Structure 1
Amino acid sequence: MKNFNILLSTAVVLALSSCGMNNNGAQNSTDAANSSATEVVDSTAEKGLFAKISMKDTVKLGELVELKFTVYNNADTAQHFCKWHTPFEPFISKYLDVKSESGEEVNYKGAMAKRVMPPPASSYMAVNSKDSVSTTVDLLKGYDLTKPAKYTITYVGQNMSGLIVKDSISFVYAK
Structure 2
Amino acid sequence: MRNPLMIVAALLSVFTFSACKHTQKTTNSQAGNEGLTAVMSVPQSVKTGAPVTLKFTVSNNSAKDLKFCKWHTPFEGFLNSYFDIKDGSGTDARYKGVMAKRVMPPPAESYITVKAGKSISAEVDLLKAYDLSTPGTYKVIYQGGSMSGIEKVNEVNVTITK
Q: TM-score range by the shorter chain?
A: 0.7 to 0.9
Partner residue, 1:28? none
How far residue 37 of structure 1 moved from its aligned partner, in angstroms, is 7.8
> What TM-score does the superposition give when structure 1 sets the normalisation length?
0.81
Partner of 1:163: 150
**Which residue of 34, 37, 56 maps to 1:50?**
37
Tell me the distance in 2 between the aligned counterparts of 1:20 and 1:173. 45
The gaps in structure 1 that reach 5 residues or longer are 25-34
Percent identical across equivalent pairs? 43
**CA distance 1:73–1:61, change in 2 (3 Å):** same
Aligned letter for 1:15?
A: S
Any idea what SS the aligned residue of 1:21 has?
helix
Matched, 1:39 2:27: yes
- The answer to whether the 8 Å contact 2:33/2:67 transfers is no
Aligned to 1:17: 15
State which of 148, 154, 161 in structure 1 corresponds to 2:141: 154
Q: 8 Å contact 1:110–1:143 — kept in the other structure?
A: yes
- 1:1-175 correspondence runs (5 A): 6=5, 8-21=6-19, 36=24, 39-40=27-28, 43-46=31-34, 48-175=35-162
Structure 1 residue 19: deviation in Å? Answer: 2.4
- Aligned partners of 2:8 and 2:141: how far apart in 1? 41
Q: Kindly report structure 1 stretches of 4+ aligned residues shifted beyond 6 Å.
A: none
| Number of positions where the alignment pairs a residue of Structure 1 with one of Structure 2 | 162
In the TM superposition, residue 40 of structure 1 has moved relative to its aligned partner by: 2.3
Deviation larger for 37-46 or 162-171: 37-46
Stretches of structure 2 lacking an aligned partner (at least 5 in a row): none
What is the TM-score when the length of structure 2 is the normalising length? 0.87
Distance 1:15 1:129 in 2: 40
